[in-house]
Amino acid sequence: MEFGKLAQTLDCGQCFRWELQPDGSWKGGTGGKFLHITVENFPQVLRDGCWAEYFDMGTDYEKIRRDLCENDEMLRKAAEFAPEIRILRQDPWEALCSFIISQCNNIKRIKGIVARLCGAYGEPEGAGWHAFPKPEALACRSKEDLLRLGCGYRAGYLIDASRRVAAGSLDLSALRELPLGEAREKLMEIEGVGPKVADCALLYGLHRLDAFPVDVWMKRAMDRLFPGRAPADFGPYAGIAQQYIFHYSRNHSDLFAC
């Protein structure tokens, strides 16, 4: 894993709290953990247990990529565009909220809304950085409070999610133990969480690497580049294949012009 290729992982659309600094370093984090990654401290960051886990250093992505791309020229092409993509082990609650916000939205505005939520209701962690608000911190807000932060019609969805998690009727960690389909059903009990957002929460928040979110980009990419293929055909690491395909498609929109 190279410092110079961090963008492949931090800017491939799976997370919304990292910002590239003018000097090439990265500032960001997940949940309540902040980090400033520089070329100097990067090796040491990867030896820190907590951040090594975040970057999923225990998973052999090179081997998974080889296996996925064997006998699959199109996937090989997509993966070669950003072969250093890793699926981060993000804070599950933050990932769920981020992808609730992502619906019918663009990455720049998603980042802005997340930053405003953190600034308004997240604990200050120093250096001007705020943790993502805990479920309890959002559960006691009104829809109007979140509308003021620009959440739009997703405001009510965030409040419903936060009340379920804060009350304990939805235990995100417990979803790790459930079969994928059951975990998905539990998430979809939240108002405003359908199959796509549930799959994003599972893949990016709970590290269920077999989850395969299908948004408009993925629908187009699957129709055009992988006709006849179903998500399950990609196997237990379908989620990683999804990320290669998603990122490749986002950066080759010319492929989909009529």
Number of residues that bind DNA (CB under 7 A): 38
Which window, 68-76, 124-132, 153-161, 169-177, contacts DNA (CB under 7 A)?
153-161
CB of 109 to DNA, least distance (A): 5
Tell the burial category of 147 from Cβ atoms under 10 Å away from its Cβ (0-12, 13-18, 19+).
Answer: middle
Does position 135 interact with DNA (CB under 7 A)? The reply is no
Does position 29 interact with DNA (CB under 7 A)? The reply is no
Q: Which of 49, 58, 106, 254 binds DNA (CB under 7 A)?
A: 106
Does position 193 interact with DNA (CB under 7 A)? The reply is yes
Q: Which of 108, 186, 196, 219 is catalytic?
A: 196
Q: Which of 9, 102, 131, 165 binds DNA (CB under 7 A)?
A: 102
CB of 188 to DNA, least distance (A): 6
Binders in 220-249 for DNA, by CB under 7 A: 242, 246
Active site residue 196: yes
Q: How far apart are CA 226 and CA 245, in angstroms?
A: 10
Q: Which of 46, 147, 166, 180 binds DNA (CB under 7 A)?
A: 147
Does position 194 interact with DNA (CB under 7 A)? The reply is yes
Nearer to DNA by Cβ, of 55 and 244: the residue is 244
Does position 107 interact with DNA (CB under 7 A)? The reply is yes
CB of 190 to DNA, least distance (A): 7
Does position 153 interact with DNA (CB under 7 A)? The reply is yes
Residue 166 tokens read as 């804060």
Interface with DNA (CB under 7 A): 12-14, 102-110, 147-148, 150-153, 155-156, 188, 190-198, 200, 213, 215-218, 242, 246
Active-site amino acid positions: 196
